[in-house]
């Protein structure tokens, strides 16, 4: 533990004062959101405003599920983010493994091709992707939402470095023992990169769950919208709802990830740190 010198005391007080102020600034809007979501509409509108209401009310949640298809949004988001994430975990690690540990012809050429797609931001290719999905009949379908997200160049790149870090003797011993290449991958190698899988899984889940522009573009029908894209239509610039239900909607959309964050904080941080892609 650091000893605090008395001469340094004002500096220390200032430092912690500023840090605590920052914590308050970061937490206040979130606490306000949760408190507001269980307030009565008239208490949200009252002046001067208060942080907490006088009584706990679930009306806003009942209203948001009643007036807009929140249940459908929630279901769509779970399907879209869940399946995309699981598929991407499988395909990214299969490819990452091939690039890291298997010998085959054309490896470098294929890898450069993969890296090329990593450098191009999604926003640049969204119009052709939209047209393509239109021609393939994928707009407003789960397949259309999920297919393009089933693998990512970044995930392949990341899993490749996890596999490359494993000792070489592992699969050689297994090969001598007559284990098939598929067996080596699923039974020996994949369990060894579990931290990598967790990190990448959280990365995909968080990005897909929170994505706005992509589902906005791939879906136009209400019944196919995700939480982010669905909510955005009813709030802010496009507000048609009471304030309370908007807050309840925001709570519903962030709560699942916040709960996961509490349990898997380490992986959330490492997924964001290693990717350099912010949500």
Residue list 29-58, contact with another protein (CB under 8 A): 29-30, 32-33, 36, 44-45, 47-49, 51
- Number of helices (H), then strands (E), in the chain: 16, 0
Using the minimum distance from each CB to another protein, give the nearer residue, 61 or 185. 185
Query: Radius of gyration over alpha carbons of the chain, in Å?
Result: 24
Using the minimum distance from each CB to another protein, give the nearer residue, 72 or 235. 235
Nearest-approach distance from CB 222 to another protein, in angstroms: 15
> What are the backbone dihedrals phi and psi of residue 155, each rounded to the nearest 5 degrees, phi first?
-60, -40
The verdict on 95 binding another protein (CB under 8 A) reads: yes
**Cα angle, residue 270 at apex, residues 267 and 273 outer, rounded to 5°:** 150
The verdict on 102 binding another protein (CB under 8 A) reads: yes
Using the minimum distance from each CB to another protein, give the nearer residue, 66 or 87. 87
Nearest-approach distance from CB 202 to another protein, in angstroms: 10
CB neighbours of residue 131 within 10 Å: 11
Contact range with another protein by CB under 8 A, out of 55-63, 64-72, 129-137, 187-195 = 129-137
How far apart CA 24 and CA 14 sit, in angstroms, is 15
The verdict on 212 binding another protein (CB under 8 A) reads: yes
Task: Evaluate whether 271 touches 206 at the Cβ level (below 8 Å).
Answer: yes
**Cα angle, residue 30 at apex, residues 26 and 36 outer, rounded to 5°:** 145
Contact range with another protein by CB under 8 A, out of 59-67, 112-120, 193-201 = 112-120
Nearest-approach distance from CB 72 to another protein, in angstroms: 16
The verdict on 140 binding another protein (CB under 8 A) reads: no
The verdict on 182 binding another protein (CB under 8 A) reads: yes
Task: Evaluate whether 225 touches 215 at the Cβ level (below 8 Å).
Answer: yes
The verdict on 201 binding another protein (CB under 8 A) reads: no
Residue among 69, 65, 41 nearest 55 (CA):
41
């Amino acid at each position: 533990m650091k000893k605090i010198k008395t001469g340094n005391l004002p500096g220390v007080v200032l430092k912690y004062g500023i840090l605590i102020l920052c914590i308050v600034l970061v937490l206040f809007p979130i606490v306000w959101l949760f408190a507001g979501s269980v307030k009565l509409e008239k208490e949200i509108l009252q002046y001067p405003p208060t942080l907490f209401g006088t009584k706990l009310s679930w009306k806003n949640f009942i209203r948001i599920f009643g007036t807009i298809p929140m249940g459908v949004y929630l279901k769509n988001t779970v399907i879209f983010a869940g399946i995309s994430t699981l598929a991407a975990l499988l395909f990214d690690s299969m490819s990452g493994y091939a690039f890291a540990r298997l010998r085959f012809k054309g490896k470098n050429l294929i890898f450069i091709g993969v890296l090329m797609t990593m450098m191009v931001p999604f926003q640049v290719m969204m119009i052709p992707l939209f047209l393509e999905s239109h021609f393939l009949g994928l707009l407003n379908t789960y397949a259309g939402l999920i297919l393009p997200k089933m693998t990512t160049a970044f995930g392949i790149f990341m899993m490749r470095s996890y596999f490359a870090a494993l000792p070489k003797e592992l699969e050689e011993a297994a090969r001598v023992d007559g284990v098939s290449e598929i067996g080596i991958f699923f039974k020996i190698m994949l369990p060894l990169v579990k931290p990598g899988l967790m990190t990448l899984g959280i990365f995909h889940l968080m990005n897909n769950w929170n994505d706005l522009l992509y589902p906005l573009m791939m879906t136009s029908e209400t019944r196919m919208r995700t939480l982010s894209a669905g909510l955005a239509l009813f709030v802010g610039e496009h507000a048609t709802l009471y304030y309370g239900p908007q807050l309840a909607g925001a709570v519903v959309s962030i709560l699942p990830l916040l709960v996961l964050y509490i349990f898997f904080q380490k992986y959330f941080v490492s997924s964001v740190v290693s990717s350099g892609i912010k949500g």
